[in-house]
Chain A
Amino acid sequence: MKDKFDTGTLRKVFQYIKHYRFLLLGSIILAAVTVAMTLYIPILIGRAIDFIIGKADVNFQAVLKILLQIGIIASVTALLQWVMNIINNKITFHVIRDIRDEAFKKIQILPLKFLDKHPHGEIVSRLISDTDQFAEGLLMGFTQLFTGITTIIGTFLFMLSINWIITAVVVILTPLSLLVASFIANRTYNMFKIQSEIRAKQTSFINEMISNQKVVQAFSREAKTLEEFDKVNEKLEKSSLRAIFYSSLTNPSTRFINNVIYAGVGLTGALAAVGGSISVGGLTSFLSYANQYTKPFNEISGVITEFQNALACASRIFDLIEEEPQVPDSDDAIILKIASGKVDLNNVEFSYTIDRKLIKNLNLNVKPGQRVAIIGPTGSGKTTIINLLMRFYDVNDGSIEMDDIDIRDITRRSLRRNFGMVLQETWLKSGTIRDNIVIGKSDATETEIIEAAKASHAHSFIKRLPYGYDTIIGEDGGSLSQGEKQLLCIARVMLALPPVLILDEATSSIDTRTELKIQEAFAKMMKGRTSFIVAHRLSTIVEADTILVLKNGSIIEQGNHRELLNKNGFYARLYNSQFTV
């Protein structure tokens, strides 16, 4: 990664640009044309000046003719420049859009293992800040790199056409400028990288604290949090200062070299003029070229630093885009129609980290329509079972079968369509109440939606909202109470009515009276449907066909309520404890 150009990343950037190759070609042609025309103007002016020699020695007719040419060329150049700018903008902004789209699509297929492990703020920062930084670098790259290079070539040819000796002076001296620029760029690449890393850390911290501002305040931790923030902020200041200062040395240094070149041209040019091999007008054009010839080098070197910063950002985005996705559905994966609800777990082993086995040798056979209650102390692996059933995570060993088909042989879509899930942590998207309910079934009719809302007892509170079903709720449910949010999540499942239900402590923040009603509705819904319930409420468990009692990831007891009570083990103790307080 110490390379000045991270060629791998660069190649990937070009992959995205490839799509716009015709626009790119147009841009290059326009750049060439405008540059040629821009360069021609100093020649014309030089010629005009040669017609203005001294007192009573001015050829007005010739001067006016040249000035008219200048006017026309300048107008056309201005117009073409504008068109070129628009094209360049389009390429840049579209590439950014494409990358963001792709990164977002990638997020949809990344394994949960990745998403659970990376702070969300960091992923968002890649998607937004890094792409933006990258955009700016790219934009500068486009507009200045092409015009820069064409200017260099054009100027070189024009200079050569006037006087080759002076041209030689310019050409020999310019590499100095490049040398200085690349020296500085090399030294600063790492500084930018460090800056970028510390900035990501800060972003992540800001994300965490501001998202949970209420907790910070509840504990009066404002000062302490600020103190921690200051620490990162201080570090960022130092690294930013280094990166910015050292990279900003490029301009003054190269400008100095240019001044030397300018003086060199002035010297050789003036001496040549004394010798009569060049006119004063020619010298004027030359001096103007000397400026133009070296300026693009400046700009290119400016572009190089900017581009490096951009590439550092790009590589972080590409890291995300190229992150190993979840194992895709195989080509011959079965599309599960409406499942009967038969679920079998055979010798399942699973762990989140290699060093600690969480689930060992789990066996479970669920017949269609059966109700499985999963209980156990917190952290005993209940949510893990859901992660596995839904294929959020894949088993390490053994298999899970649905209708006797290994779920890894079923397309994820069709598998998940057969599950209705209500998680403990409610999640609502910003949008209307209706938007949130139809997640369950995108083509649901209004009647179906209201029906589902009624069945989950959400209808009555929705009705009371200012715009009913069209009320827009903000980030994470906004002003809705935890219970209301949960009711909406239940309504979503009510609407879809899939053959297998997964309820993860779904009703824990709903009052028991409402819960009772919901349970009635569930009971209706569960008829003929297999259901897995993770709950602490014994009332929901008692009626289960099978109760799984988990502890430390393995099933320690399995059976129905009566059987387990008779066993007088862990379950019996748990059951009795609620009446002994």
Chain B
Amino acid sequence: MVKLFIYFKGYIKESILGPLFKLLEATLELFVPLVVAAIIDTGIKNSDRSYIIRMCLILVLLGLAGLVFSVIAQYFAAKAAVGFIKKLKQKLFSHIQTFSFTQLDTIGTSTLITRMTNDMNQLQTGVNLSLRLLLRSPFVVFGAMVMAFTIDVKAALVFVAAIPVLSAVVFGIMIWCIPLYRKVQERLDKVLGLARENLTGVRVIRAFNTEENEIREFEEKNDEHTIMQKHVGRISSLMNPITYLIINLAIIALVYTGAIRVESGIITQGAVVALYNYMSQILVELIKLANLIINITKSVACGNRIQAVLEIEPDIEENDKTPEKMKSDIVVEFKDVYLRYKNAGDDSLSNINFKVRRGETIGIIGGTGSGKSSLVNLIPRFYDATSGEVIIESINIKDYPVEQLRKKIAAVPQKAVLFKGTVRENIRWGKNDASDEEIYEALTISQAKEMVESKGGLDYEIEQGGRNLSGGQKQRLTIARALIKKPEILILDDSASALDYATDAAFRKSIREMEHTPTVFIVSQRTSSIQYADNIIVLEDGKIAGIGKHHELMESCQVYREIYDSQFKKEGA
């Protein structure tokens, strides 16, 4: 949590002035019991009415000054808290952007989302309250003690005894609760995850009639969360009653000591009232402090969770320097590449070696789980090879700045993802300043132009997740989004699977006719999609089972032949 404090930078003035003005207000409050004591000991005793009136006017003035101070304090506190969270959110959001794919896989997106939303809200409330009250309450408590000393040293000792006990109780309960709040949050995460999952899978859930199971599971998780909440609640709500009890015991001791001191003529009756008033002030402040601490403990837990994410170092090592460009005919080369995913039991790719010349089209084919996607995911450094080298234009890809590397490459993943916004905005992901002509050009190649036009053109609003488009429509738009980059290397990871044969064929034809002749990797299940490639890599079980042209592989590679036969024998019949 402490490390988050640097995000107060830019709001330092506010973060200091806020509490400061609160302290000024609190100081004024500490004078009230003295004024009241003066009223009793001087005004009432001497029946001095005008003295009483003057003193009461002072009380009003103290209140007025307090009002001014605290309004200023509230403003600064709110400004600092809101600004702090804004900066922190920005930092966290940009930090998440630097995570590698492996990290995203292991951390899980729903956790990241809760941290960006719920945790941030809670932290904001906590920071705001802290700035307003965290210093104020202890200040009043100790201030009251100091004032007690000015009245009577012996009676003040009661304060000296009571305050450590109170602090121990308050902080003890706080320390007890912090880890428990974390558990509450974890359980809430589970509830959240379940709800999200349920929404994405709603069709399957309904198709299999498992709504009731889902409800049962949700209720279970929800219950677990509630039970934990109640558990923490029982402990944290001990705070008020215990402090109340201690204060009252202290008051008893105070009145008793006061009685002895008055009996021996050391202090006056008004002084006893003042001492009692100071103790009451402590009680009032402690109640505030206890509520504040409940809030702060929750916020600290949230803050820690946020910090934990910020502390995750992006595990992709980046070279900032642009490597010297070397002319080479070989665009992509894999040298003894192995890949094992984190926590996986076995290699997903082993001993991969191949070279690709500029402008070639490479087909990659193989069974499910044979490592096709894993292989192409290495090229833009979505994942790093466990051993071996991936070389682009004679330079190891780890020596490129990531952004520069990915500028060369456009990858269209299996899952077609589009974002809320117009078609134009979505396509411009590939190129910020693309003109409408350029966009249409890309759409033409990806066979999406007609479709977009029928929807009403580039201004057609795509809903979140592209829900108002069919699978094939989404795929064609994601392809266009990649094409507009005019990449040197284009990777199509089974990204035309939802296109019918005619569209798919037309699409491949127009790719080959593209002016800047990119090097193309086509991952596919269909032999028809790759059979005219310059080279075909056949994968099986993460190993290369054959490389060559279609007719070569038909002769030399049994795996390839089987795949081909499985598709064409039947259809040719």
Nearest to A420 among chain B residues (CB) is B207
> Could you tell me which residues of chain B, from 202 to 219, have a CB within 8 Å of some CB in chain A?
202-211, 213-215, 218-219
Tell me if A479 and B471 are in contact (CB < 8 A). no
- Distance A234 CA – B93 CA, assembled complex (angstroms): 14
Residues in A353-410 with C-beta less than 8 Å from chain B: 375-379, 382-383, 390, 392
A270 touches B382 (CB 8 A): no
* Interface presence of A8 (CB below 8 A): no
B505 interface neighbour in A212, A264, A419, A581, Cβ under 8 Å: A581
Output the nearest chain B residue to A62 by Cβ-Cβ distance: B259
- Contact between chains at A77 and B244 (CB < 8 Å): yes
- Whether B56 contacts A273 by the Cβ 8 Å rule is no
Contacts of B67 in A (CB 8 A): 252-253, 255-256
Contact call A206/B116, Cβ cutoff below 8 A = yes
Considering the complex, which residues of chain A in the window 435-471 have a beta carbon less than 8 Å from any beta carbon of chain B? 439-440, 442, 461, 464-466
Measured between beta carbons, the chain B residues less than 8 angstroms from A266 are 36, 39, 52, 55-56, 59
| Chain A residues closer than 8 Å to B75, beta-carbon distance | 245
Expressed in whole angstroms, the minimum distance between the Cβ of B87 and any Cβ of chain A is 9
Q: How many A-B residue pairs have CB under 8 A?
A: 496
A36 within 8 A of B: no
**Residue B206 contacts which of A210, A256, A390 (CB distance < 8 angstroms)?**
A390
A58 within 8 A of B: yes
Say whether, besides A213-B99, A214-B101, A128 and B56 are in contact (CB < 8 Å): no
B-side contacts of A67, CB under 8 Å: 252, 255-256
Q: Is B394 part of the contact surface with A, judged by Cβ < 8 Å? A: no
**A260 and B63: CB pair below 8 A?**
yes
- For A29-61 the 0/1 string (1 means CB < 8 A from B) is 000000000000100010011011111111010
Contacts of B366 in A (CB 8 A): 511
Cβ-based interface call for A330 (8 A): no
Counting contact residues on chain B (CB < 8 A from A), the size range is 35 or more
CA–CA, A90 to B226, complex, Å?
A: 9
Q: Which of B411-456 contact A (CB under 8 A)?
A: 411, 413-415, 417, 419-420, 429-430, 432, 451
- Assess the B255–A233 pair: CB atoms within 8 A: no
Min C-beta distance of A424 to chain B, whole Å: 5
B97 at the interface (CB under 8 A from A): yes
Size category, A interface: 35 or more
What is the bound-complex CA distance between A514 and B237, given in angstroms?
Answer: 61
A482 on the B face (CB < 8 A): yes
Contact status of A48 and B255, CB under 8 A, knowing A119-B464, A248-B74, A578-B528: yes
A347 beta carbon closer than 8 Å to chain B? no
Check B571 against A578 for contact (C-beta < 8 Å).
yes
> When the two chains form their complex, are residues B56 and A86 in contact, meaning their CB atoms are under 8 A apart?
no
CA distance A56 to B266 in the complex (A): 11
Q: Report yes or no: A58 in contact with B259, Cβ–Cβ below 8 A.
A: yes
Residues of B within 8 A of A199 (CB): 121
On chain B, the residues within 8 Å of A536 by CB distance are 498-501
**Which B363-383 residues have a C-beta within 8 angstroms of A?**
365-370, 373, 380, 382
Q: State whether B258 touches A234 (Cβ < 8 A).
A: no
Closest to A536 in B: B500
* Docked complex Cα distance between A538 and B572 (Å): 10
Binding-face segment, B141-149, B156-164, B190-198, B547-555? B190-198
User: What residues of chain A lie closer than 8 Å to B255, measured between beta carbons?
Assistant: 45, 48-49, 52, 63, 67
Bound Cα distance from A295 to B82, whole angstroms: 28
B517 CB within 8 Å of chain A: no
Asked whether A274 lies within 8 Å of B501 as measured between CB atoms, the reply is no
For the complex, what is the distance from the CA of A496 to the CA of B207, rounded to whole Å? 11
Kindly specify which of A20-28, A68-76, A156-164, A337-345 makes contact with the partner chain.
A68-76
Whether a CB of chain B sits under 8 angstroms from the CB of A277 is no
Q: How far is the CA of A222 from the CA of B121 in the complex (A)?
A: 24
* B118 contacts chain A at the CB level, 8 A cutoff: yes
Q: CB of B406 within 8 A of chain A?
A: yes
* Contact between B113 and A82, CB atoms less than 8 A apart: no
Contact, CB under 8 Å: A492 / B272: no
Contact with A along B43-58 (1 / 0, CB 8 A): 1100101001101110
Q: Mark B219-250, 1 if CB is under 8 A from A, else 0.
A: 10011011001100110011011101100110
Q: Which residue of A lies closest to B365 (CB)?
A: A511
**What's the nearest-Cβ distance from chain B to residue A270, in Å?**
4
Q: Residues 529-543 of chain A: 1 if any B CB is under 8 Å from the residue's CB, otherwise 0?
A: 000000010110010
Query: Which residues of chain B are within 8 angstroms of A116 by Cβ–Cβ distance?
Result: 467
- Which residue, of A96, A264, A483, A512, has the highest number of chain B Cβ atoms within 10 A? A512
Any B CB within 8 A of the CB of A221: yes
Shortest CB–CB separation between residue B164 and chain A, in angstroms? 19
Which residues of the partner chain A approach B57 to less than 8 Å between Cβ atoms?
263
Contact segment of B273-281, B325-333, B354-362: B273-281
The verdict on B13 contacting chain A, using a C-beta distance below 8 Å, is: no
Interface residue A108 (Cβ < 8 Å from any Cβ of B): yes
- For residue B188, CB closer than 8 A to chain A, the reply is yes
Question: Interface code A397-431, partner B: CB below 8 Å = 1, 0 otherwise?
Answer: 00000000000000011001101010111011110
Q: Does B128 count as interface, using CB distance less than 8 angstroms? A: yes
- Cβ of A151 under 8 Å from chain B: no
The answer to whether B213 touches A81 (Cβ under 8 A) is no
When distances are taken between beta carbons in the complex, the residues of chain A under 8 Å from B56 are 263-264, 266-267, 270
Residue from B109, B132, B202, B241 in contact with A78 in the complex, judged by beta carbons closer than 8 Å: B241
A539: contacting residue among B195, B532, B571, CB under 8 A: B571
Q: Is the CB of B226 within 8 A of A492?
A: no
Residues of B within 8 A of A425 (CB): 471
Does any Cβ of B come within 8 Å of A97's Cβ?
Answer: yes
Contact B117 A206 (CB under 8 A): yes
CB of B207 within 8 A of CB of A390, answer: yes
CB–CB A256/B66 < 8 A = yes
- Assess whether B117 is in contact with A78, with CB atoms less than 8 Å apart: no
Q: Are B272 and A505 in contact (CB under 8 A)?
A: no
| A215 part of interface (Cβ distance < 8 Å) | yes
Could you tell me if B269 and A280 are in contact, using CB atoms closer than 8 angstroms? yes
Q: Determine the distance from Cα of A101 to Cα of B365 in the docked complex, in whole angstroms.
A: 47
Q: Is B509's beta carbon under 8 Å from chain A?
A: yes
Asked if A417 and B209 sit within 8 Å, CB to CB, the answer is yes
B89 to chain A, nearest CB (A): 6
Closest to A73 in B: B248
A236 contacts partner chain B, Cβ-Cβ < 8 Å = yes
* Contact pick for A41, options B248, B262, B509, CB 8 Å: B248
Residues of A within 8 A of B527 (CB): 512
Which residue in chain A gives the minimum CB-CB distance to B264?
A: A55
* A182 contacts partner chain B, Cβ-Cβ < 8 Å: no
Tell yes or no: B286 within 8 A of A by CB: no
A574 touches B500 (CB 8 A): yes
With A85-B233, A256-B66, A513-B562 already in contact, the answer to whether A108 and B215 are too (CB < 8 A) is yes
Chain A residues with Cβ below 8 Å from B201 are 427-429
27 example contacts (A-B, Cβ-Cβ < 8 A) are as follows: A52-B262, A55-B265, A63-B259, A67-B256, A82-B241, A93-B226, A108-B211, A120-B464, A121-B464, A132-B188, A208-B465, A213-B96, A213-B104, A256-B66, A266-B59, A273-B44, A377-B500, A378-B470, A378-B499, A412-B206, A476-B197, A482-B414, A483-B368, A509-B525, A515-B525, A536-B501, A539-B571
Kindly list 5 other residue pairs between chains A and B, CB separation below 8 angstroms, not including A52-B269, A492-B208: A206-B113, A219-B429, A255-B63, A416-B209, A508-B498
